[in-house]
Every structure is written in structure tokens, then in C-alpha cells.
């Protein structure tokens, strides 16, 4: 019988530490499928973030570096400049990429570094216990916005992908989501294209992936997927931004 | 220093402008590409040190340079370098502080360099040149030690050294060792298991075990790598202790005192961490004829930082006095002569 579905080679055969219904496991797997399909496992180098995915290197079976919170794109810039023949990507959450690391993000993008970025937007800080993220929606309750995010004191959801799309150094920006199987297929396609762009020396490519966090959204996994569809996408519309 | 780094095989530089060290990135911007390496003007000190982290993780000799305020920003990255056991060289051309301070020469970052300036239980190797020639010569040594111990190494200079012009022999006097094999580096996992560069140890007991390994490494560094220059120590009644530019002023004061027949000597630590404790212990161990009458006079461009290490090394066996100025003030040769004369009488 033909085997039509299996574990990607570059995904380690271990259980993850993620909560039930979390999107990280799916996103990790999509990356590994792409790495296998492009046959680049032996020349890919990942830079893991600080956040829930801090130990992504325990799940990916290829070279990985840690980076301090927010600094993944500075670390990745140097790795790629030193080894231009490798395929270097960062995997960062919304706090990492769009709050503490905004400076590193904007300048790596503006320099047109030939990198691929997988940006996981779940509108919350997971690892530290559900605090407000730069992408938290107005009215969304978090540990640090107990009565919901108010624009007057906490500002607005930050559309960093739209900001990055305006930079001359950026080659491609796309927003995808993990809330439904067909969207997951689209997300994988976008990630694959971001890797191909780098392999063709096109420059900086970013894929924002809307991802569920049932635990800190206070929802069941199913409710979390529905909330992406009904609320998150309204603020962060899917599709190619550049 | 920049050319010394190039001669040492440094293949990556990232930095951010700050006075008084702007000559280093300017030199690197043209020289590094010639030498086949990478130069990046980073968007911040944070980015620069984390680029150094990435380059080091990728297996090449990498450095950054800055001055006090920028070095403070780099502390996050330096702690991560220590935690991930990555070699790197960080040059600090010290200026006056605290805060924005001024751009005058200073030695007020001694504590920051020799104590773990960032978070966690770690040390950096710290080398302190006293001339342009020595600044050049110490760069290959800094890279060698950083590689040997997989640890960040700081070259601690001051604004005088950063701005002065002196004759320089650029053929490397120091025999430069090539960057060693780095089987842990990130190069793509062809024909080997995947490598991971990290400083994160979340499972119970792992971090303590890792810290014990670090401590073992630091003990080896303390045993083997302390360096100093000693002048006229054996018969000295007052021994000056100074490093960097301050040591040159102290040395000329000491030589003038000798001309007047005053028995002054000088210890110039070349490594500040590890601090050259043994020479102080040798000179003050009980039972030696000169034990009781030695006075150490520590001279610094600060209000007293290295003096604490001298006191720890002497451990109460001799008197330790201090002369210092900070915020741009520099103790003069005359100040040194007067202070020693008072102590010798």
C-alpha cells in the first residue's frame, strides 16, 4: 500500500510541550514538510525565538540557534552573511518580532537581508502567562488588560506586516492562518515560497501566520479556531501584502 | 586594534557609532571586505552584539567595539555569549560615566568588565593594553583565548588609547593561531547530527550542572591566563598598581622616583580578569623579609574599582592606598610622585 502521509524527516519523533489546540505544533510541522520537499535539511539553519517556541530546536532536526528575546533577525543576519550558501530562517512570535524586537525586525527587513521569517501571531504572550501582545485586539482580555485592551492607554493592534510591506528592502510579505485545513495548506505554500525566495536570492520574505492560543484566550480549541475566523482575521486580513 | 583583529583572522565585525571609538568601525568598513570578511553597521548596540552572536555561532572569529553607554546595551548579548559558550571579542574604549557622561578618557568600566556585566554567573576574559602597539598585539591573543575557552573576551582600552597616534609595527609579533576547528558551529547538518547553540537549560538540575562546568573553565583560566608586567618589585617599598594609560603615567612617575633614590615599583595587570593575584601573594606572604613594609598604591582613572581586586589579592597582608580621579580627570605624573613620596617619607 502506498504511504501518503507520514512524519517529515526533519521533525524529531518526540512529543511537544505545547498546550492542546496550540498552533505551534502545526507551524513546526509545516516548516519541516517544506524543508523536506525542498531537500534542504543539510543546509538549513533556524533561529528560534524566546517565547513558547523557545525549544523549537528540540523538535526540528536541523541546525538551530537560540536568540535573545527579539534579536533573532540580528543573529540570523550574521549567520546568513557568514554562510550565504545556507538557508536561514527565523521563527518568532508577536512579542518577539513586533515588540521587543521591532528594531531588529525593521532594520533586517530594510537592509533586504536574504532571509525567511515565519511570524506567529497569536495576539498574546503565551510563555509568560497571557499578557497583552502588540497584536492583541481592542477589547481583548489578557493578564495585563483585565478589562480588555483600551486604545486610550494601550494603543492599537500593531500591523507590523503592513509596515514591513512598505519598505523598499522587503521582497515579499504574506499573511496566512491555521484556523482551517484549507488555510493550513495556504500557509504551507506561503512558507515554502518564502524559502524558495531566499534560495533564489530574492531577499527578505516574511509569512505572518495567525495561530490559535486556546489556553490564554480562555477558549476551547474549537472556539479558538472560530475566533481567528470571526475576529482576528477582521483586524489582520489574509493574503499577499507584497 | 582593528588591524590587529584582521591579522588575527577576524572575519566579522558589527558595530554602532559612539565616541571615542569611531575609528574602529570606519577602518573595518573598508578593511574587512578587503580581508574577505563581513562588516555591518548595525541599527543598535543590541543588534551589533547579537550579530556577533550569530557570526560566532556560525563558526567565524567575530568582534564588536563600543564605549561605556554602548557596552551597557551589549551586556544582554555578552551574557548570552557566555551562556552559549561562544567566543567573541568586545572592545570597550572607555569614556566618562555614569549615564551619557562625557567623551574624556576613563577607567570607570572596570567593574562592568571584570564582574559579569550582564545577568548570570559568568566572567569575560579582560585584557588591558597600555599602548597602541600593545592594543594591536593583544587582539590576536584576545581571539585565541576566546576560542580556547569558548568565552567572550573584552579588550578594555580608554579614550587616550582610542585617540592617540603612536608608531606601530604591524607585522604580528604575537604568533597568531588560526581559528581552531569548531565542530559545534552552525553550518548546516551535512554528514553529522544537527547542532544546537543555546544557553537555555529548563530541566531541573541541568543549569546547575552547566554552571559547574563554567566554573571549572573559569578556574582553569585563573590558573593559567593571568598576565602582568612587574617593574622594580623586589626591593620596592611602595608598589604602584595601574593598568592601561594610567600605568604609563604611573611608570614615568616611578622612574623619576627611582632617579631620586626612592624605592618605588610598578605592577601593571595586563589581564584584569583573571586578575594577576599571584604576584601580590608572592610579595606579601609572611616570612619574606619585605612583607611588612610594602605599601601598594593603586592608581586609576576612576574613584576606586581595581583597588578592590588588589585588596582581595593582598588579603590584609599589606597596606593598600588609592589615588584616583574620574569623569575626565586623570591623575598626573606629579600627583603620583607626591602620593608615593608621602607614603615613603
The per-residue pLDDT for range B265-299, each reduced to its tens digit, is: 999 999 999 999 999 999 998 655 545 579 999 99
Nearest by CB: A54 against B59, B80, B200? B200
Q: Are B311 and B297 in contact (CB under 8 A)?
A: no
Whether B14 and chain A come into contact, CB under 8 Å, resolves to: yes
Gyration radius (Cα) of chain B, Å: 21
**Could B12 and A66 be called an inter-chain contact, meaning their C-beta atoms sit closer than 8 Å?**
no
- Which residue in chain A has the smallest CA separation from B78? A68
pLDDT tens, B46-95?
A: 999 999 999 999 999 999 999 999 999 999 999 999 999 999 999 999 99
CATH topology of domain B229-344: Rossmann fold (3.40.50)
Whether B16 and chain A come into contact, CB under 8 Å, resolves to: no
Count other Cβ atoms within 10 Å, centred on residue A28.
23
Q: Are B72 and A93 in contact (CB under 8 A)?
A: no
**Could A66 and B84 be called an inter-chain contact, meaning their C-beta atoms sit closer than 8 Å?**
yes
Gyration radius (Cα) of chain A, Å: 17
pLDDT tens, B11-53?
A: 999 999 999 999 999 999 999 999 999 999 999 999 999 999 9
Q: Are A118 and A91 in contact (CB under 8 A)?
A: yes
Superfamily of domain B2-224 in CATH is Thiamin diphosphate (ThDP)-binding fold, Pyr/PP domains (3.40.50.970)
Q: Which residues pair with A35 in a beta bridge?
A: none
**Could B188 and A78 be called an inter-chain contact, meaning their C-beta atoms sit closer than 8 Å?**
no
Q: Which residues in chain A have their CB less than 8 angstroms from residue B195's CB?
A: 63-64
Q: What is the mean pLDDT of chain B?
A: 94
Nearest by CB: B188 against A45, A54, A76? A45
Whether B44 and chain A come into contact, CB under 8 Å, resolves to: yes
Whether B133 and chain A come into contact, CB under 8 Å, resolves to: no
Torsion sign across C-alpha atoms B123, B111, B113, B133: negative
**Could A78 and B12 be called an inter-chain contact, meaning their C-beta atoms sit closer than 8 Å?**
yes
| Residue entry with cell 576566546 | B146
Pairing of strands A170-177, A239-240: antiparallel
In a mutational test of the B interface, the residue from A8, A55, A74 whose CB has the highest number of chain B CBs within 10 Å is A74
**Could A75 and B42 be called an inter-chain contact, meaning their C-beta atoms sit closer than 8 Å?**
no
Whether A141 and chain B come into contact, CB under 8 Å, resolves to: no
Q: How far, rounded to the nearest angstrom, does the alpha carbon of residue B211 sit from its chain's CA centroid?
A: 23
**Could A78 and B53 be called an inter-chain contact, meaning their C-beta atoms sit closer than 8 Å?**
yes
Whether A82 and chain B come into contact, CB under 8 Å, resolves to: yes
Same fold, B2-224 and B229-344: yes
* DSSP per-residue codes, A140-201: --BTTBTT-B-HHHH-----HHHHHHT-TTEEEEEEEE-SSHHHHHHHHHHHHHHHHHHHTT
Torsion sign across C-alpha atoms A216, A221, A227, A228: positive
Residue B276: all three cell numbers together: 594577576
pLDDT at B174: 53
Nearest by CB: A65 against B43, B52, B54? B54
CA distances from A72 to A97, A108, A129, B67 (A): 8, 10, 22, 24
Q: Are A135 and A228 in contact (CB under 8 A)?
A: no
Q: What is the pLDDT along chain A (242 residues), one digit of tens a residue?
A: 888 889 999 999 999 999 999 999 999 999 999 999 999 999 999 999 999 999 999 999 999 999 999 999 999 999 999 999 999 999 999 999 999 999 999 999 999 999 999 999 999 999 999 999 999 999 999 999 999 999 999 999 999 999 999 999 999 999 999 999 999 999 999 999 999 999 999 999 999 999 999 999 999 999 999 999 999 999 999 999 99
Residue A163: all three cell numbers together: 509596515
Q: Which residues in chain B have their CB less than 8 angstroms from residue A77's CB?
A: 40, 51, 54
Model-wide pTM > 0.90: yes
The domain spans of chain B are: 2-224, 229-344
CA distances from B82 to B205, B243, B258 (A): 19, 25, 44
Q: Which residues pair with B264 in a beta bridge?
A: B238
Whether B58 and chain A come into contact, CB under 8 Å, resolves to: yes
A147 phi-psi bin (left φ>0, alpha ψ -120 to 50, beta other):
alpha
Q: How far apart are CA B172 and CA B170, in angstroms?
A: 6
Cα atoms in the 13 Å half-sphere on the side-chain side of B273:
25
| Domains identified in chain A and CATH numbers | 24-240 (3.40.50.970)
- Summarize the confidence of residues B245-250 as an average pLDDT: 97
Amino acid at each position: 500500500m502506498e504511504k501518503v502521509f507520514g512524519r517529515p524527516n526533519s521533525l524529531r519523533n518526540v512529543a511537544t510541550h505545547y498546550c492542546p489546540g496550540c498552533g505551534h505544533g502545526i507551524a513546526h510541522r509545516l516548516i519541516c514538510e517544506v524543508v523536506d520537499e525542498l531537500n534542504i535539511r543539510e543546509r538549513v539553519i533556524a533561529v528560534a525565538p524566546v517565547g513558547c517556541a523557545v525549544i523549537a530546536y528540540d523538535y526540528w532536526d536541523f541546525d538551530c540557534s537560540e536568540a535573545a528575546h527579539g534579536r533573532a533577525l540580528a543573529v540570523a543576519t550574521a549567520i546568513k552573511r557568514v554562510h550565504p550558501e545556507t538557508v536561514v530562517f527565523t521563527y518568532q512570535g508577536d512579542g518577539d518580532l513586533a515588540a521587543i524586537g521591532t528594531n531588529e525586525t525593521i532594520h533586517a527587513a530594510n537592509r533586504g537581508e536574504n532571509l525567511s521569517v515565519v511570524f506567529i501571531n497569536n495576539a498574546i504572550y503565551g510563555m509568560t502567562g497571557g499578557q497583552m501582545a502588540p497584536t492583541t485586539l481592542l477589547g481583548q482580555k489578557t493578564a495585563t488588560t483585565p478589562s480588555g485592551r483600551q486604545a486610550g492607554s494601550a494603543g492599537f493592534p500593531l500591523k507590523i506586516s503592513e509596515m514591513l510591506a512598505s519598505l523598499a528592502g522587503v521582497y515579499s510579505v504574506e499573511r496566512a492562518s491555521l484556523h482551517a485545513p484549507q488555510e493550513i495548506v495556504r500557509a504551507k505554500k506561503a512558507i515554502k515560497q518564502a524559502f524558495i525566495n531566499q534560495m533564489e536570492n530574492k531577499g527578505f520574505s516574511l509569512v505572518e501566520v495567525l495561530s490559535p492560543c486556546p489556553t490564554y484566550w480562555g477558549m476551547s480549541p474549537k472556539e479558538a479556531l472560530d475566533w481567528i475566523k470571526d475576529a482576528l482575521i477582521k483586524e489582520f486580513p489574509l493574503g499577499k501584502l507584497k | 586594534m582593528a588591524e590587529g583583529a584582521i591579522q588575527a583572522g577576524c572575519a566579522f565585525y558589527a558595530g554602532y557609532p559612539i565616541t571615542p571609538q569611531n575609528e574602529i568601525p570606519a577602518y573595518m568598513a573598508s578593511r574587512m571586505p578587503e580581508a574577505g570578511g563581513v562588516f555591518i553597521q548595525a541599527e543598535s548596540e543590541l543588534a551589533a552584539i547579537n550579530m556577533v552572536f550569530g557570526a560566532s555561532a556560525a563558526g567565524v572569529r567575530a568582534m564588536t567595539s563600543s564605549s561605556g553607554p554602548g557596552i551597557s546595551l551589549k551586556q544582554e548579548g555578552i551574557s548570552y555569549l557566555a551562556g552559549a559558550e561562544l567566543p567573541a571579542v568586545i572592545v570597550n574604549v572607555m569614556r566618562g560615566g555614569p549615564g551619557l557622561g562625557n567623551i574624556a578618557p576613563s577607567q570607570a568600566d572596570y567593574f562592568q568588565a571584570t564582574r559579569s556585566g550582564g545577568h548570570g554567573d559568568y566572567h569575560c576574559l579582560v585584557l588591558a593594553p597600555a599602548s597602541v602597539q600593545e592594543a594591536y598585539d593583544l587582539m590576536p591573543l584576545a581571539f585565541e583565548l576566546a576560542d580556547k575557552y569558548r568565552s567572550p573576551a573584552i579588550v578594555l582600552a580608554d579614550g587616550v588609547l582610542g585617540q592617540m597616534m603612536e608608531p606601530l609595527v604591524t607585522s604580528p609579533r604575537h604568533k597568531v593561531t588560526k581559528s581552531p576547528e569548531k565542530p559545534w558551529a552552525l553550518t548546516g547538518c551535512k554528514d553529522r547530527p544537527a547542532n544546537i547553540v543555546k544557553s537555555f537549560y529548563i530541566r531541573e538540575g541541568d543549569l546547575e550542572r552547566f554552571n559547574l562546568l563554567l566554573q571549572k573553565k573559569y578556574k582553569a583560566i585563573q590558573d593559567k591566563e593571568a598576565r602582568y608586567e612587574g617593574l622594580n618589585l623586589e626591593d620596592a617599598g611602595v608598589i604602584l598598581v595601574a593598568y592601561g594609560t594610567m600605568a604609563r603615567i604611573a611608570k614615568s612617575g616611578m622612574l623619576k622616583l627611582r632617579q631620586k633614590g626612592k624605592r618605588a615599583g610598578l605592577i601593571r595587570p595586563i589581564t584584569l580578569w583573571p586578575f594577576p593575584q599571584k604576584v601580590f601573594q608572592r610579595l606579601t606572604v609572611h616570612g619574606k623579609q619585605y612583607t611588612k613594609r610594602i605599601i601598594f598604591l593603586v592608581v586609576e582613572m576612576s574613584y576606586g574599582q581595581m583597588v578592590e581586586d588588589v585588596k582581595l589579592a593582598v588579603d590584609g597582608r599589606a597596606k593598600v592606598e588609592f589615588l584616583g580621579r574620574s569623569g575626565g580627570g586623570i591623575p598626573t605624573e606629579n600627583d603620583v610622585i607626591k602620593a608615593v613620596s608621602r607614603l615613603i617619607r
